[in-house]
Amino acid sequence: MTDIMLSYMPGYYEVNSDERVLDVALRTNKTGWIIAGLLLSILMASMDNTILATSMGTIVGDLGGMHQFVWVISAYMIAEMAGMPIFGKLSDMYGRKRFFIFGILMFIIGSALCGTADSITELSIYRAIQGIGGGALIPICYTILIDAVNPNIRGKLMGLFGAVYGLSSVFGPLLGAFITDYIGWQWVFYINIPFGIVSLLMVAVYYKETVYREKQRIDWLGAITLVGAVVCLMFALQFGGQLYDWYSPEVIGLIFGFIIFIGIFITVERRVAEPIISFRMFKDKLFASSNLIAILSGAAFITASVYIPIFMQGVLYSLGFKPFRMIF
């Protein structure tokens, strides 16, 4: 048992039994608390969309804005996508711990604000704040894990972190439906607050980061143009055929905006020393095909997890079924 526990500790090598016991005493509890805090924060960030899926029909019923509800999901994901590479580099330059704390505080604040939203527009704005926190949490959790544990068992723990994503996919909709039916949809967001505080305390108290700092340049222009391109495309797809005709100046202008932003983004990424997306990596067929599969499977998962609960509630709720009962 001692050998197993020690295998999870950084700096473990073959030593005598007395040194092993001392190593356990010095390291086991601290590393265990760090890993627990990281897993809890990853669970919050990964479950935030799945727990919301089965609550979305009730939220739209209370706040209105059926034609805008997609922004509740999209605002979070856009902010998260933009934040990941930026906070990843900032954490390398100025320290992981401070940006982990920043990310989890933003996530907690965003969650508290989401529960107070009076309109779907307010909720979308507050979800973007949550997304900024998620964009800091997810990449930094993995770098803290790499920094805190022995290289020999990083693969095992990476698998554990991956299992958290699977767990959130399975239990997120169930938990969201239960909370919505028996407590109130606001608690879909409020539930993040106590878990976030516990995770913050675990990592802030027990994680002692290395003093090494790596100087890097942040590709701000690439980040801005990428977000601009995604926002223009999503607004065009959202407005086209609903608020405006597909051939209207507004929609055509957004499409042209997308083309301009994506053109600038590609040009910038091919020239900067440290791009957000290195196109050279896509020359590797395995990397390119894996990312293509991830994009397609992710698009299918998000689409199904968002729209199927809305459809089910729209059809079955009118017959007297509540969200939690629909799952069974």
The reported pLDDT for the residue numbered 256 is 93
What's the CA gap between 308 and 317, in Å, rounded? 13
Confidence band for 193, pLDDT divided at 50, 70 and 90: very high
**How large is the average pLDDT for residues 33-47?**
86
Say which amino acid occupies 226.
L
Say which amino acid occupies 215.
K
- Helix or strand run (H / E) with residue 280: none
Whether residue 213 is predicted with pLDDT greater than 70 in this model: the reply is no
Question: 161 with 3: CB under 8 angstroms?
Answer: no
CA distances from 42 to 11, 165, 181 (A): 25, 8, 25
Q: Which two tokens stand for residue 302?
A: 């998000």
Whether residue 220 is predicted with pLDDT greater than 60 in this model: the reply is yes
- Helix or strand run (H / E) with residue 19: helix 17-53
Say which amino acid occupies 19.
E
Q: Calculate helix-pair angle for 17-53, 96-114, nearest 10 degrees.
A: 30
What's the CA gap between 8 and 320, in Å, rounded? 51
Whether residue 8 is predicted with pLDDT greater than 50 in this model: the reply is no
The reported pLDDT for the residue numbered 259 is 94
Confidence band for 11, pLDDT divided at 50, 70 and 90: very low
**Rounded to two decimals, what is the model's pTM?**
0.77
